[in-house]
Amino acid sequence: MWVLLGVAVVVVGFAARLNPLLIVATAAVVTGVAGGLDVVATLGVLGKAFRDNRYISVVWLILPLIGLLEREGLQERARALISRLREATAGRLLVIYLIIRQLAAAVGLTSLGGHAQMVRPLIAPMAEAAAETRHGDLPQPLRDRIKAMAAATDNVGLFFGEDIFIAIASILLIKGFLEENGIIVEPLHLSMWAIPTAIAALLIHGARLLLLDRQLGREAGR
């Protein structure tokens, strides 16, 4: 149970609002030492893991590009585009994005969306513009609610869509765990059983998004 000290370090560190990188590195060292490794061996394991997975950091190279596009008016252009569509609403726009995000994740395109590269620069501003076209200038709490629902839509679409893809890490993790406990199951069967859950998530969150339009109409008119 001593290896769980690393979890305690993460909880305390984030509660104290310390540097996330420092928290994770410290938690890894604490876990390694508690598990019987010395400090040098633990740092060696961390270094090897970073070297073996360094390609993952390549995705962060897109962030400066997104920042440059935002500086040059990407959000403003997105707002202008959606404001021309009189039938568009925040809820309808987010429903469309939910469907696209879930279908893309179901075929393995998990990087097609995302908070940094899609929600913040495009989806959230477009949803805000659609709501403004209908209800006029919005108070800040309503703007924050639209942004939160845009982020939640990305989460729901990705989380419940990716398990349909047979080669996703979560499916392989479930298969490995079941096999360790003597339960043999094919990845295809796990993917098939993820479809009803994905459909339920689509219907439930889609209904929440359509109700968002009514809530915006009531509160914006006060």
**Non-local CB neighbours of 129 within 8 Å, separated by 6+ positions:** 78, 79, 80, 82, 83
Is residue 177 situated within a structural domain? yes
Instruction: Please report whether residue 62 resides in a domain.
Output: no
Position 109 pLDDT exceeds 70: yes
Cβ atoms of 81 and 126 closer than 8 Å: yes
CA 89/CA 45 separation, integer angstroms: 50
Whether residues 94 and 188 fall in one domain: yes
- The domain of 216 spans 74-220
pLDDT at residue number 79: 66
Q: What is the pLDDT of residue 208?
A: 93
Is the model's pLDDT at 59 over the cut of 90? no
| 6-22 pLDDT per residue, tens | 888 888 888 888 888 78
Asked if 85 and 192 sit in the same domain, the reply is yes
Whether residue 190 sits in one domain with residue 83: yes
Stronger pLDDT, 167 or 155, i.e. the higher one:
155
pLDDT of residue 62: 64
Q: Is residue 128 part of a domain?
A: yes
Q: Residue 157: its pLDDT value, please?
A: 92
Answer positive or negative: Cα dihedral of 79, 83, 88, 90. positive
How many folded domains does the chain comprise?
Answer: 2
Whether the per-residue pLDDT at 60 is higher than 90: the answer is no
Residue 36: inside a domain? yes
Do 137 and 202 have their domain in common?
yes
